[in-house]
Amino acid sequence: MRGQTLRVRLHAGERVYGIAMEGFGQPRWPAYFAAAGMDFVWLESEHAPNNREIIAWAAQLYAAHNIAPLVRIPEISATRAAMAVDAGAHGVIAPYVETVEQVKALVGAVKYRPLKGEALARAVKQGEFPNAETRTYLEQYNADANLIIMIESPAGVRNLPALLAVPGVDAVLIGPHDLTVSHGIAEQYDHPLFVETVERIISISRAHSIGVGMHFISGTLDWAVQWAQKGFNFISYRGDTLFVARGIQGELHALRAQLDGTPPAGDPDKVGAAGHIHYTTGEAS
């Protein structure tokens, strides 16, 4: 689907499904993903070393296969957000959002390009445009551009009603790892504080008719289903690196165990609980 359809479904509370892409995949993947019915991919540039040219090629390729390409920018930056949309992204995912000022800057970059300077400031702050024709033009020019803000801290949760009151936000994406760390309960995804916080984010988002989801980077499929049934409709399930790692651990190691009697190396459900590897110990977390 294109970004415009993605937006409509997000605000309507309908589920959309996709994965995170650290490496963006090889040329055959978009066709495979499209055949599998994937709605979106989000292309990583916060925690992966992907440059503007790579992002642009990937965005154009996935969009050509009717999969909405979203780009997670490495920081809250209007410039980086505009660059992602210029590259062909159908949406921007902004990490660690906490303030109304940050949201307004992102909305201006994603929804109102190519306005800049005083004209952009008036559009964002007062909803004033040079004229009605310009407003209609911008809406059409940026028809596929979605803004997804990540909530990953107590400040973000506390300010969420005000953040979503800014016109232009299409979805909230919870970063569970950072959310637990910032609340002092690192990787304790069954902690009552984590459960309460996530449920609050869902409630506020749906009350504003804003899409909401969590990046399921760990846990079992049942755990993801249980959380999705609580109100998530922006379903981001694992990613390219974790799918490969889990496939190797769950199948190649099982094959080795049957043929050579070598015990499987660990539990596939625990691969990459936080999406990282401790290289000193070789253990996933």
Question: What tens digit of pLDDT does each residue of 160-184 get?
Answer: 999 999 999 999 999 999 999 999 9
Q: Which residues are within 8 A (CB) of 137 and not within 5 positions of it... i.e. 6 or more apart?
A: none
Tally of CB atoms within 10 A around 32: 12
Task: State residue 45's pLDDT score.
Answer: 85
Residue 22, pLDDT above cutoff 90: no
Residue 136, pLDDT above cutoff 90: yes
Residue in 118, 140, 147 with CA at minimum distance from that of residue 130: 118
Token pair for residue 209? 């008719």
Task: State residue 281's pLDDT score.
Answer: 46
The fourth-level CATH superfamily of domain 3-239 is Phosphoenolpyruvate-binding domains (3.20.20.60)
Task: State residue 279's pLDDT score.
Answer: 44
Token pair for residue 8? 């409509």
User: Is residue 26 packed enough to be buried (19+ CB in 10 Å), middle (13-18) or exposed (0-12)?
Assistant: exposed
Look at the block and give the residue holding tokens 């043929």: 259
Task: State residue 278's pLDDT score.
Answer: 46
Half-sphere exposure of 29 (CA within 13 A, CB side): 15
End-to-end, the C-alpha distance of the chain in Å comes to 33
pLDDT: which is higher, 127 or 234: 234
pLDDT: which is higher, 86 or 265: 86
Contact 172, 211 (CB under 8 A): yes
Contact 114, 134 (CB under 8 A): no
Residue 285, pLDDT above cutoff 50: no
Helix ranges, the chain (H): 3-12, 29-35, 52-64, 78-86, 100-111, 117-126, 132-141, 154-158, 160-164, 176-182, 192-207, 221-228, 240-247, 253-260
Q: Are strands 68-72 and 283-284 parallel, antiparallel or unpaired?
A: unpaired
Provide the 3-class DSSP secondary structure of residue 115: coil
Residue in 110, 127, 186 with CA at minimum distance from that of residue 152: 186
Residue 242, pLDDT above cutoff 70: yes
Task: State residue 27's pLDDT score.
Answer: 85
Task: State residue 275's pLDDT score.
Answer: 52
Q: Which of 65-74, 81-90, 115-124, 252-261 has the lowest mean pLDDT?
A: 252-261
Task: State residue 264's pLDDT score.
Answer: 65
Contact 168, 209 (CB under 8 A): no
Q: Where are the domains of the chain?
A: 3-239
Confidence of residue 270 (pLDDT cuts 50, 70, 90): low
